[in-house]
Amino acid sequence: MDNAEIKKCDIVFLQETHIGPEDEIFMLVDWEEFHTEYRSGSKGVSVLIKKHDSYECIESDVDNDGSYIIVKCEVRGQLYTLVNVYNHQSETDVLDKLTPYLQESAEGVLVIGGDFNTPLDPYMDRTSTTQNGQHAKLRQCVEKFTASIHLVDIWRRINPTEEEYTYCKKGSTSRLDYIFMQKKSMGQVKACKILDTPEKYSDHKPVWLQLTSAPQSVSTSTETADMNKDKAQISLMSWNIHGLRTKVAYVTEEAEKNKCDIVFLQETHIGPQNTDAYDEFKEWKCYFSKYDSRKQGVAILIKKHDGFKCTESKVDKHGSYIILKCVVRGQPYTLVNVYNHKLDTDVLEKLILYLQACGL
């Protein structure tokens, strides 16, 4: 297994971190951390951002219920709004609440990652042929959310006919984890992959995204093009971690290998009494929602450096998503990390309204 991409990450999104208010956590060196707390149904999310000179956090917002984190930051001159969401299968209102916030406040490049707990294409994104009513219910919420904010499923856009999956349990496989961006930002997408990781760490696979800080264009100057490429490129990973507390070191290792600037985590499982679990992410700015009885927590981690500046963040009070407006390496972004619980139907609707209010 080659996880070189993860080691190069600037940003890591984690879901289901399972870090509660009573848990002890150690800071990660070289990462700025944003976390939610684990509660019985919202298992925590985290955002880790690699600390470096081109990173600045502008602002962050954490969902009181632990389902999402929003981080506005600047990485390598680009403004981003990062949103890490864990959309719990029992929730239907997480995305509905997140939508109006993103509509009103998202700035720069909006990146939304997380565990949405539903296959968007019931034929290509799952292997089971059995009807799943909860998937259908949540799918409507996600579709409404993405349509209202003009979001694109990045991996599917790049791989229109491929069948790969991010979740596997008891022989059932599905693609439940996504990174969304707005159509207007597609020119900045360089690559997007579903990575292989050891099953002992999680029953979800991470989704890896690589961006440039501005839309790619042809340049007649080789020297100028090379300089801009080095300055602009950022990496983002979205991952349902299904319990972060004992996996901090592994998440850090994977992010370092892929030089990630931003990490979206879903199902962090971090509760209000153990948010210190994020203290180990020393070089990451962390934005996180707290775990509660229905939502399992999301987080956005952004690597600390001079090129990052957070302008605003918002966390869904029910813990299903995080929205982060930030500048990364001169490019403004609006990042959204979502955990769309399979029992929720209104999470994406609320998120849509917010993003529409933001003019996205």
Which residue numbers belong to the known binding site?
Answer: 16, 115, 117, 203-204
Active-site residue 242, yes or no?
no
Q: Report CA torsion sign: 339, 180, 12, 258.
A: positive
Of 204, 269, 318, 341, which residue is the catalytic one? Answer: 204
Beta bridge partners of 49: 11, 303
How many other CB atoms are there within 10 angstroms of residue 198's CB atom?
A: 9
Of 38, 68, 80, 86, which residue is the catalytic one? Answer: 86
Q: Are 92 and 348 in contact (CB under 8 A)?
A: no
Quickly list DSSP for 69-116: EEEEEEETTEEEEEEEEEB-TT-SSHHHHHHHHHHHH--SEEEEEEE-
Q: Report CA torsion sign: 52, 297, 89, 137.
A: negative
Beta bridge partners of 338: 85, 321
Longest dimension (CA), the chain: 57
Of 23, 93, 96, 115, which residue is the catalytic one? Answer: 115
In whole angstroms, give the CA distance from residue 151 to residue 133.
Answer: 24
Active-site residue 55, yes or no?
no
In whole angstroms, give the CA distance from residue 159 to residue 138.
Answer: 23
Sequence ranges of the binding site for Mg(2+)? 16, 115, 117, 203-204
How many other CB atoms are there within 10 angstroms of residue 29's CB atom?
A: 12
94-105 helix and 347-357 helix, angle to the nearest 10 degrees:
10
Question: What is the phi/psi pair of residue 253, to 5°?
Answer: -60, -45
Active-site residue 2, yes or no?
no
Q: Are 14 and 239 in contact (CB under 8 A)?
A: yes
Q: Which residues are catalytic?
A: 86, 115, 204
